[in-house]
Amino acid sequence: MPEKPVVKVQDLGLIDYKQAWDFQEELLKEAVDLKISNRKNDTNFIPKQHLLFCEHPHVYTLGKSGAQENLLLDEAHLQDIDAQFYKINRGGDITYHGPGQLVMYPILDLEQFFTDIHKYMRYLEEAVIKTLAHFQITATRYEGLTGVWIDAETPRARKICAMGVKCSRWITMHGIALNVHPDLGYFGNIVPCGIQDKAVTSMAQELGRQISIQEVQEVLLKEMSAVFNFSIQA
């Protein structure tokens, strides 16, 4: 039976969005360069697998398929609320990151797991759904919409976890943003994920109490390891 992939886990803490993005790009390039070298030299070295956890200061990011008008603020107003804005190279539309939101960036070689990006997205959703279930929050997928939802496909549908990824030579980057206890007011400055008529929620709002990022992160890591069947390297 083949050995499980080994994934190195790093907690980056509260980190500037661009700094974390640059770090992801660096890890992605290392993995892609190794694959190119393997092909050129007929070798079979396995790229390192990484899982990055962090929080970001207030920032809005717009994916490749997103529309600029889904950001409802101009540059002056962004400065007023101490927020940054970036157009980035993941899929998806616009989203918000900020303190109290758990962000997870998997830099994984899917050739060590399965070469199916849609399956990868569903596995990410599954890990989040199982994490929320641990905290007695019932969440599901929403047919036709990416991410994880509460009361999906009802008039009360609200999104608790956004997702957007990039994949290059089967190496992934970007990932998920799970609302643990962020200031949800910041979502009022965008059309989240380009979806006009759906609300956004958080674990704290659903539970009616505060919950620590660290506690949620530990459960999410455990569920990621189980769903993707990998071993953890601290």
Catalytic residues: 193
Measured between alpha carbons, how far is 71 from 194 in angstroms, rounded to an integer?
A: 9
End-to-end CA distance of the chain: 24
Whether residue 142 contacts residue 157, with contact meaning beta carbons closer than 8 Å, is answered with: yes
Question: Which residues does residue 171 pair with via DSSP β-bridges, in sequence order?
Answer: 109, 168
Q: Please, which residues have CB within 8 angstroms of residue 136's CB and are 6 or more apart in sequence?
A: 207
Measured between alpha carbons, how far is 170 from 158 in angstroms, rounded to an integer?
A: 31
Return phi, psi of residue 212, to 5°.
-85, 140
CB neighbours (10 Å) of residue 38? 14
* CA 169 to chain CA centroid, nearest Å: 19
Measured between alpha carbons, how far is 45 from 11 in angstroms, rounded to an integer?
A: 26
Measured between alpha carbons, how far is 146 from 213 in angstroms, rounded to an integer?
A: 23
